[in-house]
């Protein structure tokens, strides 16, 4: 896809689909507790794959690239009594570790075998009634492993007590899960390194219908913050709540502090307006630990590179096991837009800015966030996005929504 050099139109309003993170959690909980009624479900490919998997009675479930589905379904099928499931995915999925979650489930008595490489999908899962109790798990690999256990906890006779070992990553996502559980009536607590989810055996009293309207996705909103920061024009987004369950709502504070984009909430309309300050003084350097919101890192880096603001982003250890090695991919593609960087296993920092390539072609590495985070650079220079269909994973309408915000720019200097 070629994105021509464009100007950001002012005061456009975009309606963003429901949060993928919340949707995926609610789908598992709905499968476990049938009294939950969901509205504004995400239209992302990941959510559709998870929904299809939960409705599929086949012995083999293929989640393709959907890492969240792989992790959440591993625990879900482990407690499906009498059902044996082969859980598989794409070639990349077979390279993404799942051993910490499998080890934790085995502590509870789960029967799970690796069918190819030890520690990686595909898995053969024989469902049993698990009683629950205490389990230990590494907390520094993926918060989704921990969330996967929390989601099934209330269906276990003794609930679940999760002992977190090592540095805890993506804390807001764990807090989100606990808040969702409380919203549907499941008691839980988190003290120090211990998370507890109490058992919740459905009775007539607690089987009343529980409606749950999913707020829109703050990760998806981040690309419009980048547009506003680079294009210095206002954009409005729906449907967003002033008080969010999502850790990625931190984008509001980040873009205000570093890029001068103010967020005005209009609660009655569930709308936010992104308003760039006209005389904002940019920082000389951005120093930021993004352990709590690593999915925003690519967007922040591209925005900073576009505005030629030096940056040093840490806390990114989980990016190497995402859809691609995002740190390596970021380094490669930032170079094309004129930003030289260095990386470690958990950080990336700019070292210099140079002229961007004359013909920029952004490789996406089958990673939806690579495509969307680099798209706003078209406000400065024409570029092409390879395999643009990868946005289906989280935001199928992204290109149409982006087009609503842009108008092709006539470069008068070249014509003179």
Contacts of 26 (CB under 8 A, 6+ apart): 36, 38, 41, 180, 212, 214
Is residue 314 classed as helix, strand or coil in its secondary structure?
strand
| CATH match for 20-213 among 3.40.50.720, 1.10.287.130, 3.30.43.10, 3.65.10.10 | 3.65.10.10
Q: Which of 295, 367, 401, 411 is catalytic?
A: 295
Q: Do the first three CATH levels of 2-17+216-415 and 20-213 match, i.e. the same topology?
A: yes
Cα angle for residues 253, 250, 151 (degrees, 5° grid):
165
The CA-based diameter of the chain, rounded to the nearest angstrom, is 77
CA 362 from chain center: how many Å? 21
Dihedral through CA 202, CA 63, CA 214, CA 161, nearest 10?
50
User: Is residue 217 flagged as an active site residue?
Assistant: no
| CATH match for 2-17+216-415 among 3.40.50.720, 3.65.10.10, 3.30.420.40, 3.40.50.2000 | 3.65.10.10
Query: Tens of pLDDT along the chain (416 residues)?
Result: 999 999 999 999 999 999 999 999 999 999 999 889 998 899 988 899 999 999 999 999 999 988 999 999 999 999 999 999 999 999 989 999 999 999 999 999 999 999 999 999 999 999 999 999 999 999 988 899 999 999 999 999 999 999 999 988 888 899 999 999 999 999 999 999 999 999 986 544 556 888 898 999 999 999 999 999 999 999 999 989 878 888 899 999 999 999 999 999 987 778 999 999 999 999 999 999 998 898 999 999 999 999 999 999 999 987 766 666 888 999 999 999 999 999 998 999 999 999 999 999 999 998 999 999 999 999 999 999 999 999 998 899 999 999 999 999 874 344 44
CA 222 from chain center: how many Å? 11
pLDDT at 266: 85
Q: Rounded to whole angstroms, how far apart are CA atoms 105 and 112? A: 8
Tokens, residue 208: 């009343």
Domain boundaries, given as residue ranges, for the chain = 2-17+216-415, 20-213
Is residue 87 classed as helix, strand or coil in its secondary structure?
strand
Q: E strands, 28-110, where?
A: 36-39, 60-62, 84-88
The answer to whether the beta carbons of residues 289 and 251 sit under 8 Å apart is no
Cα angle for residues 245, 392, 299 (degrees, 5° grid):
60
């Amino acid at each position: 896809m070629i994105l021509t050099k464009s100007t950001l139109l002012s005061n456009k309003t975009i309606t963003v689909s429901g949060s993928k993170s919340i949707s995926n959690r609610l789908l598992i909980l709905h499968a476990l507790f049938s009294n939950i009624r969901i509205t504004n479900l995400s239209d992302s490919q990941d959510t559709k794959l998870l929904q299809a998997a939960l409705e599929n009675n086949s012995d083999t479930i293929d989640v393709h690239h959907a890492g969240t589905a792989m992790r959440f379904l591993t625990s879900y099928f482990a407690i499906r009594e009498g059902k044996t499931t082969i859980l598989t995915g794409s070639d990349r999925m077979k390279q993404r570790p799942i051993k910490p979650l499998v080890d934790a489930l085995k502590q509870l008595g789960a029967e799970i075998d690796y069918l190819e490489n030890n520690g990686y999908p595909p898995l053969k899962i024989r469902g049993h009634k698990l009683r629950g109790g205490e389990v230990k798990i590494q907390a520094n690999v993926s918060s989704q492993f921990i969330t996967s256990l929390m989601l099934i906890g209330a269906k276990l006779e003794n609930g679940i007590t999760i002992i977190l070992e090592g540095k805890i990553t993506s804390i807001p996502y764990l807090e989100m899960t606990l808040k969702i559980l409380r919203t549907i009536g499941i008691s839980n607590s988190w003290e120090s390194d211990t998370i507890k989810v109490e058992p919740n055996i459905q009775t007539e009293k607690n089987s009343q219908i529980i409606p749950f309207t999913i707020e829109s996705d703050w990760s998806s909103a981040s690309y419009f913050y980048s547009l506003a920061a680079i294009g210095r024009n206002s954009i409005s987004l729906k449907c967003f709540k002033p008080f969010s369950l999502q850790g990625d709502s931190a984008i509001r504070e980040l873009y205000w502090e570093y890029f001068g984009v103010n967020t005005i909430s209009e609660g009655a309309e569930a709308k936010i307006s992104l308003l760039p300050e006209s005389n904002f003084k940019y920082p000389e350097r951005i120093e930021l630990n993004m352990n709590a919101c690593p999915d925003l890192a690519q967007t922040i880096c591209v925005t900073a590179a576009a505005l030629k603001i030096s940056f040093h982003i840490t806390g990114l250890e989980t990016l190497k096991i995402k859809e691609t090695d995002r740190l390596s991919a970021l380094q490669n593609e930032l170079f094309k837009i004129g930003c030289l960087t260095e990386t470690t296993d958990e950080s990336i920092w700019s070292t210099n800015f140079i002229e961007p390539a004359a013909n920029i072609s952004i490789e996406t590495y089958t990673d939806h966030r690579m495509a969307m985070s680099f798209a706003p650079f078209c406000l400065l220079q024409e570029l092409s996005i390879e395999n643009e269909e990868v946005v289906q994973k989280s935001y199928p309408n992204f290109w149409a929504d982006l087009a609503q915000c842009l108008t092709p720019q006539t470069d008068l200097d070249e014509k003179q």
